[in-house]
Amino acid sequence: GGSAFADRGGSPKSAMAPPTIEEPLAVSLVCSMTEADVNGSPPVIYILEELLTFLVRYGLSAGLRKALSADLRYDDFNTTKVKIARVELCGGNSLRVDAAICAEREGAATTEIPLKVRTSLVLEDDGRVIIADNPELITRGLFGSEVLIPFMPLAKSGADLGPDFRLTKLAVLAGTIVAEGIVVVRPPDTMRAAEQIATLENDKAAEAEELAALRALEAEKRRQSAAMLGSR
C-alpha cells in the first residue's frame, strides 16, 4: 500500500530528483532575442557595457573627450564606467546604444554624461570573443543633424565568452538578434573550480597542494572545452 515513488525507507526515489551530470556535455544553442529581451537581459547588457567601457577609456581622442565634457580630465575617462539605458537593434548587424558615462571623481559625486554609440558586432577567436566593429560616437551637428564620429582604430573592444562557450553565428536584425553556437554543460564541482582558485589565492594559509590540484582541474576543464567546442 506504499507509494510507488518511495523507497524502503519511505523517502522519494532518486528518479524524482533533478538529473546529475557525470561528464561535460556539449549542447547546441539556437537563441533569438527581441529588442525587449535584450534590454531586459542583465548578462547581455553587462557584455555591452563592458564593450562600451573599453571604448570610452581607450578609444576617445582628446577632441572627443573635450566634446563630451570639458569638465573631465583625461584620468577621469580612464576610470569611468558606462551604464546602458536602452539598446536598439537596427539590422545590418548593427545596433545603437543610449547610455551614460559614469565618472567617479574623488571627493565629488559621480558625474554622468550622456553617450550615444552605434556599432556592429562580429565574432573573433573562433567564436569565443564578441568584438565591437566600426564603433561610432553619435553627436549632434548644426540644426540638430546627426553626426557619426569613429572611435580611434587602435581601440579594439572585445568581450570574452569564456572557455565553455563558442558562437558560430551572431546576426543583428531589425528588432531581433540571433545567435547560434555550442555551450559545454559541466558537473557542478568543475564549474566552481575557478571560484575556489580565486578564494585560495587570497588566503595566505591555503595549502599549496590544494591550490595546485584546483589549478590542474581548471586546466583540464579548459582542455576538454576546447576539444568539445571544436566538434559539431
Residue with the three cell numbers 584546483: 214
End-to-end distance of the chain based on CA atoms, in angstroms? 49
Amino acid 119: pLDDT: 93
- CA 165 distance to own-chain centroid: 11
Amino acid 153: pLDDT: 73
Residues 6 and 95: their CA atoms lie apart, in Å, by: 54
Residues 120 and 134: their CA atoms lie apart, in Å, by: 6
Residues 108 and 195 in one domain: no
Range of the domain at 41: 30-181
The lowest-confidence range among 114-123, 136-145, 162-171 is 136-145
Residues 103 and 205 in one domain: no
Residue of 137, 182, 128 lying closest to 155 (CA atoms): 137
pLDDT-derived band of residue 231, with 50, 70 and 90 as boundaries? very low
In a domain, 74, yes or no: yes
In a domain, 23, yes or no: no
Q: pLDDT for 49-97, tens place per residue?
A: 999 988 888 887 777 777 777 666 666 666 678 999 999 999 889 999 9
Residue of 79, 56, 81, 78 lying closest to 68 (CA atoms): 56
26 against 2, higher pLDDT? 26
Q: Which residues pair with 170 in a beta bridge?
A: 179
Average pLDDT estimate for 30-51: 93
Amino acid 90: pLDDT: 94
CB 61 within 8 Å of CB 81: no
Percentage of the chain exceeding pLDDT 70? 65
Q: Name the DSSP letter for residue 11.
A: S
Residues 56 and 117 in one domain: yes
In a domain, 1, yes or no: no
Coil/strand/helix, residue 178: strand
In a domain, 218, yes or no: yes
